Amino acid sequence: MTKRLGRRIVLSSAALVALGLAVALPSARAARPHDDGAHSLLGSYLAGRFARSLNDADRAAELYRNALELDPGNEVLLEQTFLMSLTVGDWQRASRYAEDLISKDKGHRMAQVLLGLSEFKAGAYDKAEEHFSASATGPIGELTSTLSRAWLKVARDDLDGALELMSLPKHAEWAQFYVQYHRALMLDVGGRSGAAAETFEKIFKQDNRTLRTALAYARSVAHSGDPRHARNVVKQNLERSQGDGHPLARALLDRINNGERVDLLVPSAREGLAEVYYGLGEALTGEGGVNVGILYLQMALFLVPDHPFALAALANAYETTKRFTAAIDAYDRIPKGSPLQASIDIRKAFDLNSLERVDEAKALLDALAKADPSDIKPLDALGSIMRSHKRYAEAAEYYTRAIALIGKPDKRHWTYYYSRGTCYERLKKWPQAEVDLQKALQLYPDQPLVLNYLGYSWIDQNKNLKQGMALIEKAVALTPDDGYIVDSLGWAHFRQGNFKEAVKYLERAVELRPEDPVLNDHLGDALWRVGRQREARFQWDQSLTLSPEPEEVEKIRQKLANGMKEPAHVKRMVKRSREVHRQERPRRKVERSVAPRPVVE
């Protein structure tokens, strides 16, 4: 496992299995005939599994709970009900199920962890340590057990014991970065700011891009009275970040420059323990382990309910699983007025848009843009949302307002010109579109989206054909596995009558994006032109099954019924070919007629 993955606390597939979240069928009891509750039990279980597969955790928890009431001794149902209760943050039920689980399986890691956290919150540190110790199974369990027990010692004012405990296990290389980070946090909470700064410095030299590390380090040295050092740490992080950097980093730099008092990122053992589970949860959700990551994020929130980073990561996990209402609810739990507020509102607007609540999204972003007229991000978001709904005139207006805020544009601003250019093109304002697309290409000459859009637009209008084809070919060379861009190259060949070349690229495009109706339709057209009619009809029929745009459905049905008529330029090509053929035939006859006759003996 690489150091980069280690810094994000990324788990291997083996580690995910080691989390003990296996899924199994309920006992044979569930399907016994003539059992009054058998159908309801099996139905609740299957419906629960289906709800879970749809990421509807609230419904899944309810259904599993119903099934468990009918078969209270079923350990599989007990585990699934526990996990779903934990997923939705139903702490009272989850704790009760956890106690039942460890009575059957003392090694159930997540149950032991939750009970340990409950005892920690209650101040019962001895009982908490017993539970955390029992959760130390597998590499991840050993890591979380060690860190949890170390923070317990910090809570008991035993910093030396915590540091000693941290140094005992032989953690894998990927975990060392995380262990050292928590060592620095513990030193800060224990009042040893000098040792904390030294530890943070070692971590920061390895990676100065990670926001959480930079914030903890900068706040540590600022809190200890060294604002100059803190300022330098934040600036290094901002320099390595894309764009203007994270709003929390910029806000911290402002506070340092203004001479304000800066608190520690993790001021107590409770926040430190929450940091353990937030870090794991954020890493898991960021690398694809969303459902497991949510469990860890919920445990961080069990300790610190308004933990802004955990709530933001939870909302992001909900967005990944298309639970947009749940994501909005999570964003609403983040304390108002933080430097994250503008970013939160923009994310909420996109979630509202995904729920087809477009007017609410627009009102939220308009208010945000009005509150800070110098902020370009709400305008960009408004343009994107309007463009996604084909409201191109409104989108172009927002992009125009955004561009007016740029000043002197550089490479990172290509997207505003590209986006406005695509809007103008859809509005049939090609001169304005061409200017914007060329400006975007000037800012970012190797941007495949711009190369593709400008190149294809030229070819579609039968102008700058050689230059347009060169742009598309460059886009394909830069992104050979982008089905949409490969389709553009194939369709450009089709538009120019190069049907064999068109088929080659369009077949590749459909391989890359088999679910796209437009690409399948394009391939069908090209196959028809090269005489492969049966295959063409198959592709058109396939396109219809993929929900094409309503205005395209009838066109495709007409092609299925009647085939394709040859366009004028193809007719001209065929006519010319026949004329050449007729001109050549007499000459060949003459040539044959003057050839020497064989000698007849």
Distance of CA 11 to the CA centre of its chain: 17
Q: Which residue has the higher pLDDT, 157 or 5?
A: 157
Among the listed residues 483, 420, 495, the one whose alpha carbon sits nearest the alpha carbon of residue 457: 495
How far from 434 is each of 56, 354, 421, 428, 466, CA to CA, in Å?
A: 46, 31, 7, 11, 17
For residues 404-425, one letter each, b for 16 or more C-beta atoms within 10 angstroms of the residue's C-beta and e for the rest, the string is eeeeeeeeebbbbbbbbbbbbb
**DSSP, residue by residue, 262-280:** ---SS-SHHHHHHHHHHHH
pTM value is: 0.81
Distance CA 148, CA 155 (A): 11
3-state helix vs strand vs coil in the chain, percent to 5 = 75, 0, 25
Q: Are the C-beta atoms of 200 and 220 separated by less than 8 Å?
A: yes
Q: Is the pLDDT of residue 4 over 70?
A: no
Q: What is the mean pLDDT of the chain?
A: 87
Q: What is the mean pLDDT of residues 284-291?
A: 86
Give residue 31's identity as a one-letter amino acid code: A
Residue in this structure with the two tokens 């409201």, named with its chain if needed = 391
CB 305 within 8 A of CB 314: no
Question: What is the band of 206 on the pLDDT scale with cuts at 50, 70, 90?
Answer: confident
Cα–Cα distance for residue pair 142/126, rounded to 1 Å:
18
Contact 425, 416 (CB under 8 A): no
pLDDT at residue number 16: 28
Average pLDDT over residues 523-550: 96
pLDDT (mean) for 554-577: 72
Which of the listed ranges 163-177, 221-235, 283-297 does the model predict with the highest average pLDDT?
221-235
Q: Give the mean model confidence (pLDDT) for residues 9-15.
A: 29
Question: Tokens standing for 551?
Answer: 């205005």
Cα dihedral 532, 538, 540, 541 in deg (nearest 10): 160
Quick one: how far is CA 430 from the chain centroid?
34
Task: Count Cα neighbours of 55 within 13 Å in the Cβ-side half-sphere.
Answer: 15
Rounded mean pLDDT of 255-284? 95
| Dist. CA 451–CA 475, nearest whole Å | 6
Round the CA-based radius of gyration of the chain to a whole number and report it: 32
Q: What is the pLDDT of residue 593?
A: 27
Distance CA 82, CA 231 (A): 46
CA–CA dist 520, 252 (Å, integer)? 52
Among the listed residues 376, 374, 379, 373, the one whose alpha carbon sits nearest the alpha carbon of residue 395: 379
Matching residue, tokens 């290094």: 236
Read off the amino acid at residue 237.
Answer: N
Distances in whole angstroms, Cα of residue 173 to Cα of each of 7, 57, 178, 285: 10, 35, 10, 21
Residues 83 and 105: beta-carbon distance below 8 Å: no
Is the pLDDT higher at 501 or at 571?
501
Rounded Cα distance between 468 and 458, Å, is 6
36 band by pLDDT with thresholds 50, 70 and 90 = very low
The band of 570, judged by pLDDT with boundaries at 50, 70 and 90, is low
Task: Grade residue 588 by pLDDT with cuts at 50, 70 and 90.
Answer: very low
- Per-residue H/E/C for 358-383: HHHHHHHHHHHHHHCCCCCHHHHHHH
Return the pLDDT at 1. Answer: 36
Residue from 110, 148, 119 nearest 295 by CA: 110
Tokens of 339: 């430097």
- Could you give the CA distance from residue 570 to residue 441 in angstroms, rounded to a whole number? 33
Q: What is the DSSP string of 17-39?
A: HHT-----PPPGGGG-TT-TTHH
The 3 state secondary structure assigned to 170-213 is CCCHHHHHHHHHHHHHHHHHCCCHHHHHHHHHHHHHHCCCCHHH
Cα 465 to Cα 493: distance, rounded to the nearest angstrom:
11
Assign 294 to helix, strand or coil. Answer: helix
Q: What is the pLDDT of residues 454-501, one digit of tens each?
A: 999 999 898 999 999 999 999 999 999 999 999 999 999 999 999 999
Instruction: Identify the pLDDT of residue 568.
Output: 55
Please give the C-alpha separations between residue 318 and each of 82, 362, 569, in angstroms, as whole numbers: 20, 22, 52
Both structure tokens of 387? 């463009």
- Cα torsion 442, 448, 449, 455: sign: positive
Mean pLDDT, residues 547-555 taken together: 94
The widest CA-to-CA distance across the chain, in whole angstroms, is 123
| 8 A C-beta contact, residue 216 and residue 200 | yes
Angle formed at CA 11 by CA 6 and CA 12, multiple of 5 degrees: 110
The pLDDT confidence band at residue 569, using thresholds 50, 70 and 90, is: low
* Mean pLDDT confidence for 54-59: 91
* pLDDT score at 187: 97
Beta carbons of 249 and 234 less than 8 angstroms apart: yes
DSSP code at position 411: G
Q: Does residue 151 contact residue 283 with C-beta atoms inside 8 Å?
A: no
Q: Look up residue 353 and give its two tokens.
A: 């848009």
More confident residue, 165 or 241: 165
pLDDT digits (tens, 9 = 90+) for 81-126: 999 999 999 999 999 999 999 999 998 999 999 999 999 999 999 9
Does residue 29 carry a pLDDT above 80?
no
Angle at 384 between CA 209 and CA 391, to 5 degrees: 180
Taking residues 396-410, report their average pLDDT: 96
Is pLDDT at 240 greater than 70 in this prediction?
yes
